[in-house]
Structure 1
Amino acid sequence: MSTSHPPPASSSVPERSTWRSVLHHDVPASLVVFLIAIPLSLGIAAASGAPLIAGLVAAVVGGVVAGALGGSPLQVSGPAAGLTVVVAGLVGQFGWAATAGITCAAGLLQILLGVTRVGRLALSLSPAVVHGMLAGIGVTIAVQQLHVVLGGKAQSSLIANLGALPAQLVAHHPHSVLVGVLTVAILLTWPRLPKVKMVPAPLVAVVAVTALAAAFLTDVTRVDLPEQPLKELVLPAVPDGAPIEIITAVLTVALVASVESLLSAVAVDKLHRGKRSNLDRELIGQGAANAVSGALGGMPVTGVIVRSSTNVAAGARSRASAILHGIWIAAFVLAAGAMLELIPMAALAGVLLVTGLRLVQLAHIRTLRKHDELLVYVVTAAGVAVLGLADGVLIGLALAIVRVLYRLARATVTTTEEDGLWTIRIRGTLVFLGVASLVRTLRSIPEAARVRVDLDVHHLDHAAYEAIEDWRRGHLARGGSVELNRVAFRAAMRSDPARRLLPWHPQVVAEPDQRVSMLDGIREFEASADPIRPMLAKLAADGQRPAQLFITCADSRIVPNLITTTGPGDQFCVRNVGNLVPPKGSNSSSVDAAIEYAVDVLGVKSIVVCGHSHCGAAAAALEANAPAGTGLQNWLRHLEPSLRRAVGLPDIVDPATGVKLSPADKLSVANVGVQLANLRSFACVREAEDEGRLELIGLWFDLRAAAARLVLDREPYLVRADEELATAGSSFKR
C-alpha cells in the first residue's frame, strides 16, 4: 500500500522480536501496560470477592504464560471485568480455594478445546448475545461498585444492591465518596485532555487520589495485602458440591473466558498492522494461563481489550511487551507491595464503576438496532443482570435461535395482476413451514390465467418444490399457462451459494445457447430492484460522493464492485485497455479529466490502480503484435516504460502458491507500479498526497485464484490483500 503520510500511532506493526526492537518498542509499552494493570487487577479481585493477591497473581500469569504461548502477539491477558460476576458467584458457593481449583480445571478444558480446534466455534455465538452478556455484567459491576464508592459494602446480587442503595446514599461516608467521585471524574476527563492520552487514565486517577488520601484522608478503607505474598497464596482445592454444579462451574468459566479472549483477540487484530491471530493457539495459551493461575491460587485469566489496546497504542511490536508487563508486576509486588496498601478501596471501585459502564457501548446498541437484533441484546443483558450469567446467556441464546428459525422459515409470497398477467413473487426462504400459506396464495389465482412465477429464495425444500409443481401441473391442466425460471428453481433447490453471491451466475455456467439476453437480464433486475431503489433514489438526489477512484482494465472479466465488495456510489471508475495512466501532458484527455475530477471535485480519499493476470494488453505489448497504425498500437506505446521496468525486476512469486509469475503477469505487476508513479505527474494528486488527503494503492487481481494482491515497490512485490497491513507504507513511495 502506498501512502505518504505515516500510519496512526495505534496501528503498530508486529515484527520479529530483535533485541533492538524489544528495547525500543516493547520495554516502554510494557511499562505503560504494567502501570494500568495493577489498579485494574486489584479492583477486579475486590469486586469478585477474591483475595487481592489473587488478582495480581492472575495478572502476572496472564502476562507471562498467555503472552508467551498465546496466538495473539499483542494481546495482554489478566483478570477481566467480564468474569467478575462469575467469580463472585463461585466464591460465595464454593469458597476461594475451590474456585481456584475450578479455574485450573477450566484452563485444562480450554487447552483441550484449542487442541481439538473447536475453540473458534465460540465466535459463532450471536454478537447480540455476547454484547448483551457484557452489558449485563457491566451494569452489575457498576451498581455493585457504586456501594463501595459510597463507603459501604456491595451486596450479592443486582436486585439486592438496588434495594440497599437508598440506605447507602443516606449513610455518611464523605471521605470515601470524595475519593470515588474524584476517581470517576479523572477517568472521564483525562482522555479528553490534549497530548496526555499516552498516560493511562486509571493510573493517573489512582495515583492522584492515593496521594490525596495519604495526605488528608486518614479514615478511608485501603488495600490490604499480606506481608509475605508468596506464603499467603491459597492452593486450589477440589470443590465440595454436586457433580453437576461443579461441571457447570468449570464449563461456565472456560466458555466465558474463551469467548472474551477470542473476541478480544479479534478486536486487537483490527488495531495493528500484522499477522492475524491464531485463535486455536490463543485458546491453548489462555488455557495454560488459567491452569497455572488456578494452581497458584490466582483468578481466572482472559484476554483484556483495555490492556491490549493500551499495549498497541504504546507502540508494542511483539509478545515481549505482554511478557515483560507480567514480570514488572511480580517484581513490584515482591519489592514494593507496601506502596499498594496506600490505595483507597473507593479508588479501585471508581475504576471498576467506569469500566463496568463502558461495557454498555452505544455503538453496539446502534448496530444491533440497525440489524434488528436489539431485542436479543436487551433480553440477554437483563437476564444476566437479574438472573445471573448462565441463565441470562441461555435465555439470550434461546431467543436468538427462535428468531433465526423464524427468519429461516419466513417467505413472502405476493401476487399482482396487470393486463391479464398474474405475477407471483416469492422471496426469502421457502421450507415446509411456509407451504400452507404458499398453497393458499397459489389457489387464489383464477383458472386459465396467465401466470409468471418470480422466484428469488435462498433455499427451497422438497415440500415447497412439490407444492409449486403440483399447483403448476393442475393450473396447466385447467387451461392456464405458467412461466417459471427453471434455472432459479434448480439453484434454490440446491441452495446454490454461487447464485446467491452472483445473481448473474447462470449466464456464466450455462452453454452459449442457453444464455439469457440482455433484455431478459434487465427485466430480472427491474423486477428484483425494490430493495435498492430507495438507496439509488437517494444517490440520485444527493449526488455521488465516492471514497475511491478505481482505475482498472477494460477486460470483461474484471468486475471492480465484485472484487472489492462495494456498491453504487462507492467507487469512481476509469477503465481502459491495460489500466494505463499516461503521464500528464500525454494527450489522454479522458483519463486526465477523470483523475482531476475525482481528486479536485469529488475529493476521493484513495486512488487504486488495479492490474490483473492473463492481461491481453500485457501479452500484446510483449509480443508487439498490435496492428500497425491502429489506435491500439498507439495506446499500447504507453506500456513501454512498464516493459523496461519489468526487465529490471527479478522473478515475482505469487504469495499464496509460491509459483513464479509468467512474463505477461510479471509485466502487468510492474505496470501497476509505473501507473502509480505516473499519477504523481498530476499536480492535484501530488498536493493531496502531500497533505495526507489521498492514498495511492497498487492492486493486482489473480483471475484464476479469484484473489487480490497488493503491489509493492520492493521484494516480494506482491503480498496477499488479507495480510496487507503486514507491510506499512511500502508500495511505490516517491
Structure 2
Amino acid sequence: MSIENDLAPPPADHSSTESSRPAWQQTLLRHDLPASIVVFLVALPLSLGIAVASGAPIAAGLVAAVIGGVVAGLLGGSVLQVSGPAAGLTVVVAESIAQFGWRVTCFIVVAAGVLQILFGLSRIARAALAVAPVVVHAMLAGIGITIALQQIHVLLGGSSHSTALRNLTELPGQLLALHGGDALVGAVVIAVMLGWKHVPPKLRAVPGALVAVLAGTLLSLGLPEVERIALSGSVFDALGLPELPSGNWSAVAMMVLTIALIASVESLLSAVAVDKMHTGPRTGFDRELIGQGTANIISGLVGGLPITGVIVRSATNVGAGARTRASTVLHGLWILLFSVALVGLVEQIPKAALAGLLIVIGMQLLKLAHIRLARRTGDLLIYVVTVLGVVFTNLLEGVVIGLGLAFGLLLWRVVRVQVTAAPLPDGRWQVHIDGSCTFLALPKLSGELAKVPAGVDVTVEMTVDFLDHAAFEAIEAWQHQQESGGGRVDFVEIGSARMADTPAAPPTRGFGRAAIDEILGPWRHRKSGGDAVTAGVAAYHRGHAHVVRSHLDGLHDSQDPDSFFLTCSDSRIVPNVITHSGPGDLFTVRNVGNLVPVSGDDSVEAALSFALDSLAVRSVVVCGHSSCGAMKAVHSAADTAGGLSSWLRHAQPTLRRFLAGHPVAAAAAAAGYGEVDQLSMVNVAVQLETLGRNPAVRRAMTERGLVVSGLFFDIATSRVLEVTLDGVGAIDDHAGLTVTG
C-alpha cells in the first residue's frame, strides 16, 4: 500500500480519479485538519515537559515530536496513532544521559530503532503483546510515580536528584527551601489541569494542558526570579550527530535493548487501544514496529528523544474526528512551524509550569482502575512489587522482577492441585484430586492420602487434566498398600488425564473434548454385541455415576419434569443432548416415527395423560428427525413385516397432507431438504394438530398456558429446527419455542 493511498480514505466512487478527489479534500478539510491542530496543541507542552524531565536539551523533545508525527505517521501500521516523545521512557532516558551523556544516548536511540525494525521484519510484533497486562500497568504507574517525585523538586524551585529514593528523602529539605514564585506557578498549572474536566463542554474543546501552561506562563510574567526554559536558537540549531560510546558496550547494549523493548511494547499496546476507539483499518503490528524504528533512527541521528506511540495524543486524535494519517502528519508539521517561528515564545514558559504538567501526567499513569483490576484478578502482589521495583531500582529491573513474579504465580496457578480426603457417612472414605497432578503436588498428595485409615474402602475422584509419572506412581503405590490391608480403592476419573494411560506414554495435558467424546462417543470403539451395554455401565460407574449422583439427590423420591417429549425410537436421537437438559427434565416417550395415534393404540395417550394430570408438565414437544426410516417406508409405500405395518397406518394422515401440498413441505423444500425429510417435518406438524385436538391438551393450554411445540433434528448438521403448523424456522441462542396449535 502506497503512502498516498494511506493518506486518503477509499473513494466512494472508484469510477475515476476526478470523482475521488473531492471526497479526499473534504475528509482532509473537515476532519483531519481540525484534528491535527487539536493534537498539536496537546503535544507541544507534553514534548517540552518530557524533554525537561529527561534531562535532555529542550529542542530534543520538539525534534522527536516532529519526526514522530511525520515519519511514524507515514510509515507506521496504525492509521490514527500519534507518535512522539513519551513519558514512559523518561526515566530510562534520564538514566542513559546520566550514565553515557546526551550524544551517546542519541546513538543508543538509533540502535534501538534498528532493533525495532528487525523486530518488525522478523514478524514477532505480536509477541510483544504477550507481556502480562498487570506488569505493563505497574510499569506505567512506577514511571508516573518516578516522574512526580522528580518534578516536585523542580516545582518547588530546586533540581531533581538521580534516584527516586533521594528525591523522596530530600523532599522535606526542599519544602523548607521552596521558591514561592515557582511553587505558585506549578500549583496553578496543577489546579487548571485537575479542574479542566469540570468546565463547560464548549471550553473543554481547548486542551487543558495548553490552558494550564498558558495560565502558568502569564502568571510568571508578574513574578520575580522564575526559572524559564532556555533555547539556543531555533530547533535547527540544536540538531547534531550522535557519538559512539567510548567503552562499556555491555551497558550500552542493555540500554539499547531496554529502550527498544519499552518503546515497542508501549507503541503496540497503544495501537491496540486506538483500534478499539474507531472502526477504520486495523493496525499492522509488524509495519508499526518498522515505522517506529525508522522514526527512532532519524530522531537519534539528528538529536531527538526516543519515540513511541502514545495513547494520550492518539486518543485526542481519534476524539477530534481524525479519519486518515494526514492528521498525524500535519500535527508534526505544526510543531515544526512553531519550533522555527516562535522560539521566543517557548523561552517564556517557566520550568515550574512544565513540572506541574508532568506531575499531573505522571500521577495519571497511576490508575485506580488498574489497581482494582489487579485486586479482583489476584495480581495485586505483582502490581505492587513491579511498581516498587521500577521506582526504587530501575525500569528494566523492576519489569524483570514483575515478569518473574507473574510467571511464578502463573506456574503455581497452572500446576497446583487440590487434594482432600474425608470420611463419608457410610464408612467409606472419599479422596478428591482436582487440577494438574505433578511431582510438585507430591507433598500435599502424600499428606492427604496418609489421612485415610488402613483397610477402609476408598473412592478416589480425579478431576485431573495433567498427570505425570511421579504422581501416578505415588497414587498407585498408595492404592496397593490400601488394598493389601483389605480395603478397596475405586477410581472415578472425571478429568481427561487417566491413570491407565499414564504408564504407556509421556504425560500430556488433556482437554475437555476428550471427556465429552467419552460421554457421547458410540460403542463402536468399545466392545460390540451384548457386552457393549455391560462395558458401558462399567464405564459409567467408573467415570460418571459419581457426578450424576449429586444431580439426582433431589429426585430420588419424585419427579418434576418440565416437558413431555415425544420423539422417534431412532438410536441417533439423544433427547437430553439436543435439548441441553439433564436428569428429571424430560418425560420422554419414544415410538417409531414419533406418532400420536388417534385410535387403536393407547400408549401415547396414557403417557400424555399422566404427564399432564399427575406431573403437570409445562410443555409438550414432538421431535422428528432427518433420514427417518419410518418416513422412508411411508413415503415409498414399502411392505413392512409384522406389527410395523399396522403401526405405520397411523402415519397415513401425514402422507395425505404431504401429497396435498402442506405449507411445511413447501418451506422445507425451499430450504433444500429432500422429500423424505419434508415428509418428516409435515409429520411433526400433523402430530401437533392431533395434540391440539386432544381435550386434555386443550384444557391445559387454556387453564395454565401449556406450550405445544415441534422440533426437527437434522442429523447431518446437528442443528435443531422449530416446526410450526405452517412452516420451519431456526432457533437462535435467544429464542424460545413458539406456542403452536
Shift of the 635–234 alpha-carbon distance from structure 1 to 2, 3 Å rule, reads farther
**Residue 203 in 1 paired to residue 226 in 2?**
no
> 1:711-722 to 2 correspondence within 5 Å?
none
The structural deviation recorded for 1:193 is 2.5
Instruction: Tell me the equivalent position of 1:404.
Output: 410
| Residues 32 and 322, structure 2, Cα contact 8 Å, conserved in 1 | yes
The structural deviation recorded for 1:437 is 2.8
Among candidates 158, 180, 184, match of residue 178 of structure 1: 184
The structural deviation recorded for 1:417 is 1.6
**Residue 378 in 1 paired to residue 390 in 2?**
no
Hey, what's the Cα distance between the residues in 1 that align with 2:277 and 2:521? 41
Among candidates 413, 428, 433, match of residue 435 of structure 2: 428
The structural deviation recorded for 1:101 is 0.4
Aligned to 1:300, the other structure's residue is in SS state coil
Query: Match of 1:346, as an amino acid?
Result: A
Aligned length: 559
Instruction: Tell me the equivalent position of 1:251.
Output: 257
Instruction: Tell me the equivalent position of 1:158.
Output: 164
> 1:291-690 to 2 correspondence within 5 Å?
291-418=297-424, 419-486=426-493, 488=495, 490=497, 495-496=508-509, 498-499=511-512, 504=516, 506-509=518-521, 511=523, 523-524=546-547, 621-623=671-673, 625=678, 632=685
The structural deviation recorded for 1:223 is 2.2
Give a deviation string over 1:16-68, Cα, whole Å, max 9, x none. 48443233222221111111001000000000000111111111111122222
Query: Match of 2:137, as an amino acid?
Result: H
The structural deviation recorded for 1:450 is 2.4
Among candidates 86, 94, 111, match of residue 88 of structure 1: 94
| Residues 27 and 323, structure 2, Cα contact 8 Å, conserved in 1 | yes
Hey, what's the Cα distance between the residues in 2 that align with 1:258 and 1:245? 20
Among candidates 125, 148, 153, match of residue 119 of structure 1: 125
Query: Match of 2:304, as an amino acid?
Result: G
Shift of the 517–409 alpha-carbon distance from structure 1 to 2, 3 Å rule, reads closer
Instruction: Tell me the equivalent position of 2:653.
Output: none
Query: Match of 1:108, as an amino acid?
Result: V
Hey, what's the Cα distance between the residues in 2 that align with 1:700 and 1:317? 37
**Residue 263 in 1 paired to residue 269 in 2?**
yes
The structural deviation recorded for 1:278 is 2.5
Hey, what's the Cα distance between the residues in 2 that align with 1:168 and 1:80? 27
| Residues 487 and 506, structure 1, Cα contact 8 Å, conserved in 2 | no
The structural deviation recorded for 1:626 is 5.2
Aligned to 1:483, the other structure's residue is in SS state strand
Among candidates 43, 48, 51, match of residue 57 of structure 2: 51
| Residues 27 and 324, structure 1, Cα contact 8 Å, conserved in 2 | yes
Hey, what's the Cα distance between the residues in 1 that align with 2:465 and 2:307? 42
Aligned to 1:488, the other structure's residue is in SS state coil
Give a deviation string over 1:648-669, Cα, whole Å, max 9, x none. xxxxxxxxxxxxxxxx99xx99
Aligned to 2:497, the other structure's residue is in SS state helix
Hey, what's the Cα distance between the residues in 2 that align with 1:559 and 1:274? 40
Aligned to 1:416, the other structure's residue is in SS state strand
| Residues 185 and 216, structure 2, Cα contact 8 Å, conserved in 1 | yes
Query: Match of 1:524, as an amino acid?
Result: V
Query: Match of 1:469, as an amino acid?
Result: E
Hey, what's the Cα distance between the residues in 1 that align with 2:275 and 2:61? 26
Shift of the 482–518 alpha-carbon distance from structure 1 to 2, 3 Å rule, reads closer
The structural deviation recorded for 1:182 is 0.8
The structural deviation recorded for 1:148 is 1.4
Alpha-carbon RMSD: 3.9
Give a deviation string over 1:69-114, Cα, whole Å, max 9, x none. 2222221111111111100011111111100000000010111112
| Residues 117 and 293, structure 2, Cα contact 8 Å, conserved in 1 | yes
Shift of the 469–631 alpha-carbon distance from structure 1 to 2, 3 Å rule, reads same
Instruction: Tell me the equivalent position of 2:76.
Output: 70
Give the TM-score, by structure 2 length. Answer: 0.68
The structural deviation recorded for 1:292 is 1.3
Shift of the 423–322 alpha-carbon distance from structure 1 to 2, 3 Å rule, reads same
* Higher RCO (CA < 8 A, seq sep 6+): 1
Shift of the 448–163 alpha-carbon distance from structure 1 to 2, 3 Å rule, reads closer
Hey, what's the Cα distance between the residues in 1 that align with 2:680 and 2:407? 64
Instruction: Tell me the equivalent position of 1:606.
Output: none
Aligned to 1:226, the other structure's residue is in SS state coil
Aligned to 1:103, the other structure's residue is in SS state helix
Aligned to 2:495, the other structure's residue is in SS state helix
Instruction: Tell me the equivalent position of 1:236.
Output: 242
Instruction: Tell me the equivalent position of 2:644.
Output: none
Give a deviation string over 1:184-238, Cα, whole Å, max 9, x none. 1111111133314433211221223223334x23532222223232132121111
Hey, what's the Cα distance between the residues in 2 that align with 1:237 and 1:367? 44
Give a deviation string over 1:680-720, Cα, whole Å, max 9, x none. xxxxxxxxxxxxxxxxxx9989xxxxxxxxxxxxxxxxxxx
Query: Based on CA coordinates, which of the two structures has the bigger radius of gyration?
Result: 2
Percent identity for Structure 1 against Structure 2: 47
| Residues 106 and 303, structure 2, Cα contact 8 Å, conserved in 1 | yes
The structural deviation recorded for 1:421 is 2.5
Shift of the 439–31 alpha-carbon distance from structure 1 to 2, 3 Å rule, reads same
The structural deviation recorded for 1:337 is 2.8
Q: Could you list the runs of 5+ residues in structure 1 that have no partner in the other structure?
A: 1-13, 530-553, 561-573, 579-615, 637-663, 670-674, 679-697, 702-734
Instruction: Tell me the equivalent position of 1:613.
Output: none
Instruction: Tell me the equivalent position of 2:85.
Output: 79
| Residues 148 and 363, structure 2, Cα contact 8 Å, conserved in 1 | yes
Hey, what's the Cα distance between the residues in 1 that align with 2:72 and 2:340? 21
Give a deviation string over 1:122-159, Cα, whole Å, max 9, x none. 22222232222211111110011111111222111112
| Residues 492 and 542, structure 2, Cα contact 8 Å, conserved in 1 | no
Aligned to 2:378, the other structure's residue is in SS state coil
Hey, what's the Cα distance between the residues in 2 that align with 1:528 and 1:333? 74
Stretch of structure 1 that moved more, 438-447 or 65-74 = 438-447
Query: Match of 2:466, as an amino acid?
Result: H
| Residues 626 and 632, structure 1, Cα contact 8 Å, conserved in 2 | no
Stretch of structure 1 that moved more, 96-105 or 120-129 = 120-129
Query: Match of 1:247, as an amino acid?
Result: A
| Residues 555 and 577, structure 1, Cα contact 8 Å, conserved in 2 | no
Hey, what's the Cα distance between the residues in 2 that align with 1:634 and 1:335? 87
Shift of the 391–503 alpha-carbon distance from structure 1 to 2, 3 Å rule, reads same
The structural deviation recorded for 1:508 is 4.5
Give the TM-score, by structure 1 length. Answer: 0.69
Shift of the 627–133 alpha-carbon distance from structure 1 to 2, 3 Å rule, reads closer
Instruction: Tell me the equivalent position of 2:41.
Output: 35
Shift of the 21–633 alpha-carbon distance from structure 1 to 2, 3 Å rule, reads farther
| Residues 620 and 626, structure 1, Cα contact 8 Å, conserved in 2 | no
| Residues 455 and 489, structure 1, Cα contact 8 Å, conserved in 2 | no
Instruction: Tell me the equivalent position of 2:198.
Output: 192
Aligned to 1:151, the other structure's residue is in SS state coil
Hey, what's the Cα distance between the residues in 1 that align with 2:227 and 2:52? 12
Hey, what's the Cα distance between the residues in 1 that align with 2:382 and 2:246? 35
Give a deviation string over 1:575-627, Cα, whole Å, max 9, x none. x999xxxxxxxxxxxxxxxxxxxxxxxxxxxxxxxxxxxxx986775548256
Instruction: Tell me the equivalent position of 2:701.
Output: none
Instruction: Tell me the equivalent position of 2:292.
Output: 286
Query: Match of 2:340, as an amino acid?
Result: L
Stretch of structure 1 that moved more, 157-166 or 623-632 = 623-632
Instruction: Tell me the equivalent position of 1:717.
Output: none
